[in-house]
């Protein structure tokens, strides 16, 4: 039998506490890779391990929690995964030799730091390879077991377990994080976590990080009730506070140790600490559980709070949702101003509304440039103009928590038509050093919106009355990229999209080519039309703006127009609309340089079009 597994059979084992907290207290900033310290300040890492061993820890974790290619890659260290993880394992073994105590060395493996599909952008295959790479390096470094910790996504943890089990026959311990209500971020209960992980061959299951010691007691008890393998518990030292520029945890060692003892009494076989815990906390824990032996008493039955059911019913459809597929829809783009004065854009929205537009689109920092927030302009337009908006909502600037918070806020403010976008990278804009988030992409965003429409957030927690978002997705009709775009569109449709808005096209053949391939769009489609302003404008869009392709003959016509480019651009757009308007569900008009009067003329022309008038009477 493996020595670690045999040790757990004999009684409670004390694990160490936080490594990051100790390095931070000694001057290593949070924005630096803690794993890099394995090669830049070896003595510092060894010293922390030794402190925990002398405090009574029988298990120490390598300083490799963020040592995967995704997290290290974000700090320019993606090519050093093997080096830093091997070094972390060797330092822990060196500390064991220095302390002269035969402790177990656990190879610490944390989550990737990026959500997996379908809500994120990392595939399970990519995740598997990243975990396998890290575990291989830790095993090469000589760890005694693999500790997978602080996972909030059960699917990601399962991938990590499979990768670890494929690499080594060493024991694998798998730990999840839980909220105050005793569920994971995705809403799994402790029992569900245990029942999912045990068949994968883990040596132990448990909870770590998450919350402080008091809420974790019930989580551990619930796991013990159903687990046939040992249960581990490593909570945080409460919640952190920022004091004079430093993060401080206030839970005292004695209080922490009392609850660690309670978890051990309930059946936990490994107790230790996570964020905020120190050698003082672990010394108190070691003393508190020193004389405990495996209990033969019946397991305590714990009832975690039941999550309330979402409220119902949802609010009614948006006006746009009622029109899509039933009437010819016209939407006009209104870009947020670069400053604080939205007057021009509000007047533009008023103009196109008067001419017959059904909605206005509002961009979210297009091309990665700073403008008034799209949410603010949407609210102003709806309040002052009285026309529905379609907000371009990107995943670029918000993590999963902020995405959901902003969406709930938008719904409360009455902004309920959303074009789900990944977003232009900030390096394409005015702030090349700005970092993007991209926790998820447009497909994941559609799924999140549909979850909110079911009355729950991504974690399965009720949001009150279900939302009534009408969800659009972007699509590029250009023939050269059509195969890829159609595959991507299939994913968006499967995720639950309600309608499609295309990149601008400039000749009817582009639409014809798509319709020959697809037969008909899978959802109501609004085709993008962008009136050109000049030959220079056409050349710029074609050569420098992603997703825009202008045929040679169109650019040649604009060149021949000379200083009458605006009139020629309007004429080209009108010809295109005459050709396609009887074959699409609507159009999405994009004025350039705030020329709302140009697209207003096109709106008027469309509303007066005989074929569309007959169609409206028939559908009405």
Nearest alpha carbon to residue 368 among 435, 425, 433: 425
Q: How far is CA 157 from CA 11, 117, 189, 192, 602, in A?
A: 27, 13, 15, 13, 54
| Tally of domains within the chain | 2
| pLDDT of 613 above 70 | no
* Across 366-383, average pLDDT: 86
- Can you read off the two tokens belonging to residue 518? 């697809």
Tell me: do 272 and 339 sit in the same domain. Answer: no
Q: Kindly give the interhelix angle for 552-561 and 535-544, rounded to the nearest 10 degrees.
A: 150
Nearest alpha carbon to residue 170 among 196, 195, 193, 201: 201
Write down the pTM of the prediction. 0.72
Tell me: do 506 and 560 sit in the same domain. Answer: yes
The pLDDT score that the predictor gives to residue 306 is: 56
What's the sign of the alpha-carbon dihedral 437, 439, 443, 446? negative
| pLDDT of 92 above 90 | yes
Per-residue pLDDT of 565-580, as tens digits, reads 999 999 999 999 999 9
| pLDDT of 473 above 70 | yes
| pLDDT of 432 above 60 | no
Q: Is the peptide bond before 98 cis (omega within 30 degrees of 0)?
A: no
Full 3-state SS string of 534-601: CHHHHHHHHHHCCCCCCCHHHHHHHHHHHHHHHHHHHHHHHHHHHHHCCCCCEEEECCCCCCHHHHHH
Tell me: do 333 and 281 sit in the same domain. Answer: no
Whether 55 and 18 have beta carbons less than 8 Å apart is answered as: no
| pLDDT of 428 above 70 | no
b/e code 408-438 from CB counts within 10 Å (16+ = b): eebbeeebbbbbbbbbbbbeeeeeeeeebbb
pLDDT tier, 359 (very low <50, low <70, confident <90, very high otherwise): very high
Report the chain's mean pLDDT, rounded to a whole number: 90
Per-residue pLDDT of 163-181, as tens digits, reads 999 999 999 999 999 988 8
Of the candidates 231, 255, 288, which is a domain's last residue?
A: 288
The pLDDT score that the predictor gives to residue 141 is: 97
Helix (H) or strand (E) holding 244, with range, is none
Would you say residue 156 lies in a domain?
Answer: yes
Of the candidates 288, 321, 338, which is a domain's last residue?
A: 288
Would you say residue 53 lies in a domain?
Answer: yes
Q: How far is CA 416 from CA 197, 337, 340, 413, 527, in A?
A: 39, 21, 24, 9, 21
Would you say residue 551 lies in a domain?
Answer: yes
| pLDDT of 203 above 80 | yes
CA dist 296 and 237 (Å) reads: 29
Would you say residue 312 lies in a domain?
Answer: no
Q: What 3-state class would DSSP assign to 612?
A: helix
Q: How far is CA 58 from CA 15, 264, 282, in A?
A: 6, 15, 10
The pLDDT score that the predictor gives to residue 433 is: 52
Would you say residue 298 lies in a domain?
Answer: no
Tell me: do 345 and 282 sit in the same domain. Answer: no
Task: State the CATH number of the domain containing residue 154.
Answer: 3.20.20.330
Of the candidates 266, 288, 310, which is a domain's last residue?
A: 288
pLDDT tier, 614 (very low <50, low <70, confident <90, very high otherwise): low
Task: List Cβ neighbours of 562 (8 Å cut-off, separation of 6 or more).
Answer: 535
Would you say residue 324 lies in a domain?
Answer: no
CA dist 188 and 191 (Å) reads: 8
Tell me: do 265 and 364 sit in the same domain. Answer: no
Q: Is the peptide bond before 398 cis (omega within 30 degrees of 0)?
A: no
Tell me: do 114 and 201 sit in the same domain. Answer: yes
Would you say residue 309 lies in a domain?
Answer: no
| pLDDT of 427 above 60 | no
Tell me: do 412 and 487 sit in the same domain. Answer: yes
CA dist 54 and 522 (Å) reads: 65
Whether 409 and 376 have beta carbons less than 8 Å apart is answered as: no
Nearest alpha carbon to residue 34 among 189, 44, 570: 44
Nearest alpha carbon to residue 179 among 166, 190, 168: 190
| pLDDT of 228 above 90 | yes
The pLDDT score that the predictor gives to residue 298 is: 42
Q: How far is CA 522 from CA 274, 500, 501, in A?
A: 49, 9, 12
The pLDDT score that the predictor gives to residue 368 is: 56
Tell me: do 341 and 283 sit in the same domain. Answer: no
Give the range of the structural domain holding residue 87, as residue numbers without chain letter.
Answer: 3-288
Residue with tokens 């005292």: 252
Tell me: do 232 and 344 sit in the same domain. Answer: no
DSSP 118: T
The pLDDT score that the predictor gives to residue 451 is: 93
b/e code 313-337 from CB counts within 10 Å (16+ = b): ebeeebebbebbeebbbbbbbbbbb
Tell me: do 283 and 333 sit in the same domain. Answer: no
CA dist 174 and 546 (Å) reads: 43
Would you say residue 563 lies in a domain?
Answer: yes
Helix (H) or strand (E) holding 173, with range, is strand 172-176
* % of the chain exceeding 70 in pLDDT: 91
Tell me: do 152 and 283 sit in the same domain. Answer: yes
Nearest alpha carbon to residue 209 among 236, 190, 188: 236
CA dist 349 and 620 (Å) reads: 25
Nearest alpha carbon to residue 372 among 396, 348, 346, 336: 336
Tell me: do 116 and 253 sit in the same domain. Answer: yes
CA dist 148 and 51 (Å) reads: 23
Task: State the CATH number of the domain containing residue 429.
Answer: 3.20.20.220
Q: Which long-range contacts (CB under 8 A, 24 or more apart) does 541-550 make?
A: 545/367, 546/424, 546/428, 547/476, 547/478, 547/503, 548/503, 548/504, 549/478, 549/480, 549/506, 550/506
| pLDDT of 356 above 80 | yes
How far from chain centre, in Å, is Cα 367?
A: 21
């Amino acid at each position: 039998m493996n020595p670690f597994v045999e040790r757990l059979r004999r009684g409670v084992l004390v694990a160490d506490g936080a490594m990051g907290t100790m390095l931070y207290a000694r001057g290593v900033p949070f924005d630096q890779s803690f794993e890099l310290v394995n090669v830049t300040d070896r003595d510092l890492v060894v010293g922390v391990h030794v402190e925990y061993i002398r405090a009574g820890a029988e298990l120490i974790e390598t300083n490799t929690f963020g040592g995967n290619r995704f997290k290290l890659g974000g700090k320019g260290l993606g090519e050093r995964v093997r080096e830093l993880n091997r070094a972390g394992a060797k330092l822990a073994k060196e500390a064991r030799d220095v302390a002269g105590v035969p402790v177990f060395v656990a190879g610490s493996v944390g989550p990737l730091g990026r959500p997996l599909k379908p809500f994120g952008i990392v595939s399970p295959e990519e995740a598997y390879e990243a975990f396998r790479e890290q575990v291989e390096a830790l095993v090469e470094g000589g760890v005694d077991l693999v500790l997978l910790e602080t996972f909030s996504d059960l699917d990601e943890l399962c991938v990590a377990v499979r990768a670890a089990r494929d690499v080594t026959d060493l024991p694998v311990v798998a730990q999840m994080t839980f909220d105050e209500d005793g569920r994971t971020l995705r809403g799994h209960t402790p029992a569900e976590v245990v029942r999912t992980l045990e068949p994968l061959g883990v040596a132990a299951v448990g909870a770590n990080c998450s919350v402080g010691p008091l809420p974790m007691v019930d989580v551990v008890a619930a796991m013990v009730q159903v687990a046939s393998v040992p249960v581990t518990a490593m909570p945080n030292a409460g919640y952190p506070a920022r004091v004079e520029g430093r993060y401080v945890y206030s839970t005292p060692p004695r209080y922490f140790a009392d609850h660690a003892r309670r978890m051990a009494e309930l059946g936990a076989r490994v107790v230790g600490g996570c964020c905020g815990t120190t050698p003082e906390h672990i010394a108190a824990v070691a003393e508190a559980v020193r004389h405990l032996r495996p209990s033969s008493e019946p397991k305590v039955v714990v009832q975690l709070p039941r999550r309330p059911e979402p409220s119902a019913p949802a609010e009614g459809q948006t006006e746009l949702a009622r029109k899509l597929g039933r009437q010819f829809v016209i939407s006009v783009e209104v870009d947020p101003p670069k400053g604080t004065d939205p007057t021009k854009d509000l007047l533009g929205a008023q103009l196109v509304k008067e001419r017959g537009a059904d909605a206005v689109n509002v961009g979210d920092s297009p091309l990665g440039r700073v403008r008034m927030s799209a949410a603010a302009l949407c609210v102003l337009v709806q309040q002052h103009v009285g026309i529905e908006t379609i907000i371009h909502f990107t995943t670029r600037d918000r993590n999963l928590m902020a995405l959901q918070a902003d969406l709930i806020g938008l719904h409360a403010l009455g902004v309920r038509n959303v074009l789900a976008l990944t977003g232009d990278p900030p390096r394409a804009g005015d702030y090349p050093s700005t970092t993007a988030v991209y926790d998820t992409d447009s497909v994941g965003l559609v799924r999140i919106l549909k979850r909110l429409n079911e009355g729950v957030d991504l974690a399965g927690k009720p949001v009150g009355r279900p939302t009534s978002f009408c969800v659009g997705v972007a699509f590029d009709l250009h023939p050269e990229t059509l195969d890829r775009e159609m595959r991507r569109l299939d994913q968006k449709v499967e995720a639950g999209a309600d309608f499609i808005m295309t990149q601008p096209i400039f000749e009817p053949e582009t639409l014809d080519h798509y319709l020959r391939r697809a037969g008909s769009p899978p959802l109501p489609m609004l085709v993008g039309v962008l009136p050109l302003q000049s030959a220079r404008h056409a050349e710029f869009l074609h050569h420098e703006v992603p997703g825009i392709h202008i045929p040679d003959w169109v650019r040649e016509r604009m060149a021949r127009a000379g200083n009458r480019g605006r009139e020629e651009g309007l004429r080209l757009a009108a010809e295109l609309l005459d050709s396609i308007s009887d074959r699409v569900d609507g159009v999405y008009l994009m004025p350039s340089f705030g020329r709302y009067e140009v697209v207003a003329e096109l709106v008027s022309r469309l509303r007066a079009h005989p074929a569309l008038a007959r169609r409206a009477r028939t559908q009405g």
